[in-house]
Amino acid sequence: MVLRPLVLLALAAACRVAPAQDPAPAPAIPDASAPIRERVVRFEADWGALGRFHDAPLSPARSARLGAFLAAERAELARVDPARLELEERLDLSLLVNRIDALAGRLELEDARRAEVLTLVPYASRVVALCEARQRVEPVEPRAAADELDAIARAAQQARTALEQAAEPPAGRALGFRAARTLERLRRELDEWRAFRAGYDPLFDWWTAEPAKAALAALEAHGKALRKRVAQLADDDRDTILGDPIGRAALLAELGFERIAHTPEELVDMARAELALCRAAFERAAVELGHGTDWRAALEAVKAQHVAPGEQPALVKDLAQEAVEFVTRHELVSVPPLAVETWRMRMLSPEAQKTSPFFLGGEVVQVSFPTGSMSHEDKLMSLRANNRAFSRAVVHHELIPGHHLQQFMTQRFAPHRRAFQTAFWTEGWALWWEMLLWDQGFARTPEERIGMLFWRSHRCARIVFSLSFHLGTMSEAECVDFLVQEVGHERRAAEAEVRRSFGGDYGPLYQAAYLTGGVQFRALHRELVASGRMGAREFHDAVLRGGNVPIEFVRARLTGAVPAPGAAPAWRFLDEPR
């Protein structure tokens, strides 16, 4: 399941433009008595419109305009009296305030990271100014535009020369890589600025054609110098894994936005403890298979049990039906017949498998398996990584009762709450089913138990390596080694996993969300189902019908104890008995 959270907004956005003028105040909410649900829908529409218009990286005007909008919305919501609202509306109010506070906090992080990039690309504001003017469709004086393009080209050349002549790189590799990527987006945006009038304005073409070509070339050359001199990457290097750690303070802020009342270190300790439990169970299964306590030997034996080329789609179809029948027979969750009828399948390309060596899911389950064009070594690795037992342990995660059922229900119940979606609910729900099905005896043989244990260990390792990386205690290479040594990954699969985690498409907490969210659901299940307050199917149906929200708010909805708007996260689920 691919989920792209709104993290590090400027660096994730394609660089268009923001206005140079002071940000206009956001309009007041037209109807102060409008239901909170309607306010949520309107807020998301307004935030989306502003974000699409003001999406230039390295533009302070963008942060100012978005910040003013958030401040006005927050002030308006502060006038709402929660005591006059019903439970669902109180929940929506607290959710909306939490989202606004999270977005405001991420804008602050964006400002700090923008300042870092500007130390390496000091002339960026000149490019941004041209792009901002184009977005506002302001008239262009061709001679002045040519002069500005010439100035940009000279500034970029000077920055590149200074960089190449420096005795030492002026920044760390991660910042150099971030600056190079941002500069590439600025270059594309400058080219769009040029193309906007090219061919339509003969005088513009006459003055700017050559200066624009020179400016674009200078930006490209500076970007290459940043990659080579600071990021220490060759021009054609597409395989080196290079992440951009955000640090402990930013991790703590992100955890707060996700309503996690624990520190990164506590989550890492939890993951290591869970990993130790998996290792003990691994060794018991190894004994059953005749390998003593050599869990690696048992794992390798299981990896060898894969279907023949061309047979993986049929296996996935059978495994999907098996999972549906299991959860239905045990009355664990309601499964609408239409959800069973409408899921689809596609096979991942060799290129896609470089970052997704396993399955992806939702309404369309995306399957990794070797293709004829792969090298012999890559074929064997993909076969081992997508064996029968591993596949059986992940198909239900991606389809039913996992992501497909999840998406099916959230499209039909409380759809406005998709504005609050979080990986801790999305991935935590699917991971929780891995835990519950283990407890329910879904794995019938030692091979199937090893398949489930591999994935559980994988989720534990994701917390350890991703948070440790952002805390600065693990390098990218150490993350790969950890997956190989402690989980039993094929090295290519481990590299793909780490590359996917740090490539910029996922937020810094995404990989930690799987097991953390699963542990949250496990704690909530014990509180409400094991205690006898709710039945299993009643519990799971209620979770799905309440929408995709931080799990502390799921608990608030099911218990009726909704936190006050703006209250800090308080549920310490790790302190509860496991």
Q: Tokens standing for 42?
A: 């309107």
pLDDT of residue 80: 95
pLDDT of residue 34: 63
Give domain status of residue 243, yes or no: no
- Domain identity same for 258 and 157: no
Closest CA to 117 of 191, 68, 65, 177: 177
| CB distance 326 to 393 below 8 Å | no
Q: Tokens standing for 113?
A: 């990271």
Domain boundary among the residues 175, 197, 230 is at 230
Closest CA to 70 of 50, 91, 92, 41: 50
Closest CA to 243 of 256, 255, 233: 233
Residues spanned by the domain of 144: 124-230
Domain boundary among the residues 118, 135, 164 is at 118
- Domain identity same for 82 and 138: no
- Domain identity same for 106 and 194: no
How many CB atoms neighbour CB 178 within 10 A? 24
Note the pLDDT tens digit of each residue in 205-215. Answer: 999 999 999 99
Give domain status of residue 238, yes or no: no
- Domain identity same for 176 and 309: no
Burial of 337 (0-12, 13-18, 19+ CB in 10 A): exposed
pLDDT of residue 578: 63
* Cut 0.95: pTM above it: no
Give domain status of residue 107, yes or no: yes
pLDDT of residue 37: 94
- Domain identity same for 360 and 449: yes
Closest CA to 455 of 517, 381, 390, 527: 390
Identify the DSSP state of 313.
Answer: H
- Domain identity same for 213 and 303: no
Residue type, 129: A
Give domain status of residue 246, yes or no: no
DSSP 32-55: TTS-HHHHHHHHHHHHHHHHHHB-
- The tally of domains found in the chain comes to 3
* 25 vs 338: CA distance, rounded Å: 46
Give domain status of residue 172, yes or no: yes
- Domain identity same for 89 and 207: no
The 10 Å CB-count burial string (b at 16+, else e) for 525-543 is bebbbeeeebebbbbbbeb
- Domain identity same for 133 and 281: no
- Domain identity same for 194 and 225: yes
| CB distance 184 to 217 below 8 Å | no
DSSP 315-354: HHHHHHHHHHHHHHHTT-S---HHHHHH-EEEEPPTTGGG
* 459 vs 272: CA distance, rounded Å: 11
Give domain status of residue 236, yes or no: no
Q: Please identify every stretch of the chain with a pLDDT value under 70, giving residue numbers as ranges.
A: 1-34, 355, 578
List the beta bridge partners of residue 344: 364
- Domain identity same for 203 and 223: yes
- Domain identity same for 407 and 503: yes
Domain boundary among the residues 230, 262, 283 is at 230
- Domain identity same for 226 and 308: no
